Amino acid sequence: MSSFLKLILTFAVLYGSLAWAIELRSPQVTNWGDWHLWDECPENTFVVGMQLRTHPYQGVWSDDSALNGIKFFCENFGSKSNKSVVMSGEETYGDYGKEFYCKNGAATGFQLRSEKYQTIFADDTAANNLRLFCNSNSSDVLEGDGLDFGHWTEPQGCFRRQALCGYSSQIDHDLSSGDITGLNNIKMRCCNVPDPAETCLPEDKWDLLIECDNLEATTPTNCEYKRKVGISHSAAYAEGMSQLISSYTQIGFTIPEALAQLGFNFGTRINTTTGYDWTASNSETWSSETTTTINFDVPPGYRTQLLQTMGRCGIYSVRAPRVKRVDTNTRTGSKTVSYFSF
């Protein structure tokens, strides 16, 4: 094993998340009702959507309670469904409305719309509506279908590499006042999102760099390709990864921070189909991807393919400096295979 890989393996063992589990509270505009028990998402799942129970506007002479309850939907980061539901208390007025989901990733913050105390002569509604912020991104906001009394309170957000994973609600159930307000406040818990560089299982394949034909010529022809070595995101390796990669990046997972753990995985857990010894890779492989231009000659009457050893681990791909060259004599059909490092 190379000394460089030993160094990054040591660093990977020592490397830990800098985030702690935290609790977020909606700014207190009203304070009626009792706090219900926490309801938590299953381990390593996070809030990906919501559904609000809303009491529709009842008119000037009737009691309004606005927001009465919240269902949060939990899933793995990057997935979405309503199969796993958390719900911490509710009042029974109104009905559940539309389901709202993050496009990808998970919810990382929230904002409650609340109406302040209206004095003894007016109708109180307390909490009216809820927003979820997905992937720490102010442009990916889910706004519920609640009412619009009051104002939006200050947004509350998780640390980087975290997402919402459970909540507790304060519900007003007191019928004696004649002025029911339903849901007043919520507390939400942030949990650490598993590091995709730690949880991924590495594999490799031969990736076609270029195919260059020189079929009819009588002299060699020069071909050019891009030499890429190092770690990048795996959108080029597997289709449909772009949104998930974007979500992980937005909440704080960066390539420089993944280098050590990826080196550890490829050194100990690789399922290889190319036969490449990943532990022999140099520091260029375990760095952010670099690109240079390379030229090579193809003999007359030949088709040449260049294939590169390329690994994948979750949202990351790794290009090693090892190439397989296949020269095919188009007249005889014979092939010559050679290997080299570039």
pLDDT 10s digits, 80-115: 999 999 999 999 999 999 999 999 999 999 999 999
Confidence of residue 20 (pLDDT cuts 50, 70, 90): low
- Helices assigned H by DSSP within 150-306: 196-199, 242-250, 255-268
pLDDT for residue 200: 95
What is the number of other CB atoms lying within 10 angstroms of the CB of residue 199?
A: 12
Question: At 7, is the pLDDT very low, low, confident or very high (cuts 50, 70, 90)?
Answer: very low
Q: How does residue 324 score in pLDDT terms, banded at 50, 70 and 90?
A: very high
Q: How confident is the model at residue 67 (pLDDT cuts 50, 70, 90)?
A: very high
pLDDT at 8 over 70: no
Residue entry with tokens 């753990």: 261
Report the amino acid identity of residue 152. W
Hey, is 12 helix, strand or coil?
helix
- Residue 1 scores a pLDDT above 60: no
Instruction: Tell me the domains of the chain and their CATH numbers.
Output: 3-13+197-341 (no CATH), 18-194 (2.100.10.20)
Q: How would you label 38-74 residue by residue, b for 16+ Cβ within 10 Å and e otherwise? A: ebbbeeebbbbbbbbbbbeeeeeeebbbbbbbbbbbb
Residue 235 in this model has a pLDDT that exceeds 70: no
Asked whether residue 11 carries a pLDDT value surpassing 70, the answer given is no
* Interstrand relation of 67-75 and 46-54 (parallel, antiparallel or unpaired): antiparallel
Tell me, what amino acid is at 82? N
Tell me what the mean pLDDT of segment 132-156 comes to. Answer: 94
Q: What is the mean pLDDT of residues 204-212?
A: 96
| Portion of the chain with pLDDT greater than 90, in percent | 82
- State the sign of the Cα–Cα–Cα–Cα dihedral 3, 5, 11, 13: negative
Could you tell me the pLDDT band of residue 239, with boundaries at 50, 70 and 90? low
Mean pLDDT, the chain, integer: 91
Q: Percent of the chain at pLDDT above 70?
A: 92
Among the ranges given (127-136, 181-190, 204-213, 238-247), the one the predictor scored with the smallest mean pLDDT:
238-247
**pLDDT given for residue 156 in this prediction:** 97
Which pTM was predicted?
A: 0.85
Which parts of the chain are beta strand (E)? 22-25, 34-35, 39-40, 46-54, 67-75, 84-86, 95-101, 107-114, 127-134, 141-143, 151-152, 156-157, 162-172, 182-192, 203-214, 221-233, 290-298, 302-313, 316-329, 335-341
Q: How many residues does the chain have?
A: 342
Quote the pLDDT of residue 3.
45
Question: What pLDDT is attached to residue 59?
Answer: 81
Q: Check residue 313 and give its pLDDT.
A: 95
Largest CA distance in the chain: 98
Average pLDDT for 13-24: 59
Integer distance in angstroms from the first to the last C-alpha of the chain?
Answer: 20
Q: What is the pLDDT of residue 21?
A: 72
Band of pLDDT at residue 340, cut at 50, 70 and 90:
very high
